[in-house]
Amino acid sequence: MKLIADCGSTKIEWCLVDNGNVVERWFSPGVNALMQTEEEMRSQFQETVSPVIGEREVSHIYFYGAGCVSPEVCGFVRRALADTVAAGEIEVDSDMLAVARALCQHEKGIACIMGTGSNSCVYDGTKIIDAVSPLGYILGDEGSGAVLGKILVGDVLKRQLPEELCQKFLEKYDLDRIKIINRVYREPRANAFLASLTPFLLENIEEPSIHRLVLNAFKLFFVRNISNYAEYKSLKIHFVGSIGYYYREVLEEAAAAVDCHIGKVVVSPMDGLIKYHG
């Protein structure tokens, strides 16, 4: 059997596969290998993985994780997994490689994440060969949930949207200027708070001002990230993540405006990883 893990900072999706057939599929709390110690990860894996695996034999573990950005960090995760599950081989890689493999399989393409954050890379069918740094929601992450939320609250507080829309937004989330400033500047996980406001955009996407906000944010994603790749006009551009999935129509509109071509758009990479690792 093979164990596949798609690990983010919020949650991990695990899947135990036998000859391409799903045996078990479950979620556990997330891990960020840059922010947690090897011992913390080991303890968490032993609590959330060992009881599910039980006595079943695992030949390979494929773990893709947030924060898995260097051989040293990947080594921490590998040892924590090795102390949890007796497996013949353990491969630890970045969450971006998971997305590339899930979306492109063994073909060349551009793979993107568009959820709370955004990211992209060029994949040659085996490995990532080029990538533009996402830089986070303050300096980058164009088109992401966090950035869409940031633009939305800024436009509301600076009265850039119609007055009735501004009032509708503040009432929906029970917010005012002071509450927003406190959540963004004084409380942790401002990016998650901002991303949590994006359902308002989807609910009101037919409003010209809202449609324009989302469209311009997506155009910036293509201009500041995708257009840096030499073959961006000829390669299919694939997406994983809730923002790309639920706003697909506007995403395709933005892509067409800058001569880009959308391929697959999915919420989660796991089904693609199951197909890839079979």
Q: What is the pLDDT of residues 158-213, one digit of tens each?
A: 999 999 999 999 999 999 999 999 999 998 888 889 999 999 999 999 999 999 99
Percentage of residues in the chain with pLDDT exceeding 70? Answer: 100
Query: Which pLDDT score is estimated for 30?
Result: 83
DSSP string, 21-89: EEEEEEEEE---TTTS-HHHHHHHHHHHTHHHHTT--EEEEEEEETT--SHHHHHHHHHHHHTTS-EEE
Instruction: Give the Cα separation of 225 and 119 in Å (integer).
Output: 8
Contact 60, 89 (CB under 8 A): yes
Query: Which pLDDT score is estimated for 34?
Result: 77
CA distance readout (Å), 208 to 143, 167, 214, 216, 265: 18, 17, 10, 12, 24
Strand-by-strand arrangement of the 58-65 sheet: 21-29, 11-18, 2-7, 58-65, 87-94
Is the model's pTM score more than 0.75? yes
Query: Which pLDDT score is estimated for 137?
Result: 82
Which tokens sit at 24? 């078990």
Query: Which pLDDT score is estimated for 67?
Result: 80
Q: What is the pLDDT of residues 147-161, one digit of tens each?
A: 999 999 999 999 999
Identify the structural domains of the chain with CATH numbers, from first to last. Answer: 2-103 (3.30.420.40), 105-267 (3.30.420.40)
Q: What is the pLDDT of residues 220-273, one digit of tens each?
A: 999 999 999 999 999 999 999 999 999 999 999 999 999 999 999 999 999 999
Residue with tokens 């359902």: 199
